[in-house]
């Protein structure tokens, strides 16, 4: 019996040991710093304490920071979903040459750093930028206005940066759906809108959930983009964490905000994973 159990042990497979360097890398450069942040947020002059969290949530300004973080993340995620959902269908149903061109157009911007793209959006969102001139041309605005250092400008810039992470998960699901399903629904007398809502939307929900999880988790923790596009007057948890460590030299506050931000991101990822598996099993 012991010999059979030892034979079934995964550690006897030499392939498993190929993951050891990656595990050590993540442990040293990711897990240990997170453990230090977690410990720092609960340790005060007298030892273990919850006072940093009590003080944080007792301050109305910090609640505004939390709502700023969640609000911007929700708006960015919604903008990416509205633009990315039909784009994923167009990508999946396009011909071979057009599909390659679209994939290049979606993936190539990922090779450009976030800082470079944020600075580029500073130019686009100025009073004389492309967005302002376009809105004046279509008659939405009577005169050019500045979108830079405003919340709509931040949503536009962040949505542009994170859009590929919404399109690609939805596309990976849509390309596996047999388009003849809609034709079968049509033969049964279903209207186009009914076929889309009752057939396509449920089948694409796992991709939607994955894309929403990707974009929301990145939007809720972004630091460079809000720092460059809206400035210090609009604080989020990530910018407050950076200010706590870099300017205020308050490691406990920075650790507390970092742990709260981490809890939000992990909660979204875990919840979306559970929901995606549930939806995948039901469809």
The residue with greater pLDDT, 31 or 179, is 31
The residue with greater pLDDT, 161 or 130, is 161
Which residue, among 259, 234, 232, has the nearest Cα to 246 in the 3D structure? 232
pLDDT of residue 280: 59
* pLDDT tens string 50-62: 888 999 999 999 9
Helix, strand, coil percentages (3-state) for the chain, rounded to 5, are: 80, 0, 20
- Is pLDDT at 274 greater than 90 in this prediction? no
Write the DSSP assignment of 96-132 as a string of letters.
Answer: HHHHHHHHHHHHGGGGS-HHHHHHHHHHHTSTTSHHH
The residue with greater pLDDT, 111 or 64, is 64
Give the pLDDT band of residue 281 (cuts 50, 70, 90): low
- Is pLDDT at 283 greater than 60 in this prediction? no
pLDDT of residue 82: 96
Give the pLDDT band of residue 166 (cuts 50, 70, 90): very high
- Any idea which residue has 């559970």 for tokens? 274
- Is pLDDT at 273 greater than 80 in this prediction? no
pLDDT of residue 4: 52
* pLDDT tens string 1-45: 455 555 566 667 777 788 888 889 988 988 888 888 888 888 877
**Which of 2-6, 56-60, 70-74, 182-186 bottoms out in mean pLDDT, i.e. has the lowest?**
2-6
What's the mean pLDDT in 264-274? 83
Architecture of domain 50-113+151-282: Orthogonal Bundle (1.10)
Instruction: State both tokens at 283.
Output: 């469809």
What's the mean pLDDT in 201-208? 89
Answer yes or no: are the C-beta atoms of 41 and 259 closer than 8 Å.
Answer: yes
- Is pLDDT at 131 greater than 90 in this prediction? no
pLDDT of residue 178: 83
Burial 189-211 (b: 16+ CB within 10 A, else e): ebeeeebeeebbeebbbbbbbbb
What's phi and psi for 201, nearest 5 deg? -60, -50
**Which of 122-126, 196-200, 212-216 bottoms out in mean pLDDT, i.e. has the lowest?**
196-200
Answer yes or no: are the C-beta atoms of 162 and 79 closer than 8 Å.
Answer: no
Instruction: State both tokens at 94.
Output: 């396009």
């Amino acid at each position: 019996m012991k010999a059979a159990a030892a034979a079934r042990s995964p550690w006897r497979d030499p392939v498993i040991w190929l993951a050891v360097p990656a595990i050590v890398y993540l442990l040293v450069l990711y897990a240990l710093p997170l453990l230090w942040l977690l410990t720092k947020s609960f340790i005060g002059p007298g030892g273990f304490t919850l006072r940093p969290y009590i003080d944080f949530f007792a301050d109305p300004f910090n609640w505004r920071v939390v709502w700023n973080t969640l609000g911007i993340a929700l708006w960015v995620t919604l903008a990416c979903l509205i633009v990315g959902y039909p784009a994923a269908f167009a990508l999946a149903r396009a011909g071979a040459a057009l599909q390659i061109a679209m994939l290049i157009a979606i993936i190539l911007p990922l090779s450009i750093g976030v800082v470079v793209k944020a600075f580029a959006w500073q130019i686009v969102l100025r009073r004389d930028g492309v967005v302002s001139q376009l809105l004046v041309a279509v008659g939405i605005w009577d005169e050019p206005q500045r979108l830079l250092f405003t919340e709509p400008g931040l949503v536009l810039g962040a949505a542009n940066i994170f859009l590929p992470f919404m399109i690609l998960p939805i596309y990976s699901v849509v390309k596996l759906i047999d388009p003849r399903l809609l034709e079968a629904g049509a033969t049964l007398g279903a209207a186009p809108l009914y076929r889309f809502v009752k057939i396509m939307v449920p089948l694409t929900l796992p991709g939607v959930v994955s894309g929403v999880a990707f974009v929301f988790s990145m939007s809720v923790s972004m630091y460079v983009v809000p720092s460059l596009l809206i400035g210090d007057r609009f604080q989020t948890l990530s910018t407050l964490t950076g200010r706590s460590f870099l300017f205020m030299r308050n490691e406990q506050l920075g650790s507390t905000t970092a742990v709260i931000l981490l809890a939000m991101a992990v909660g979204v990822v875990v919840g979306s994973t559970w929901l995606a598996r549930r939806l995948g099993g039901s469809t």
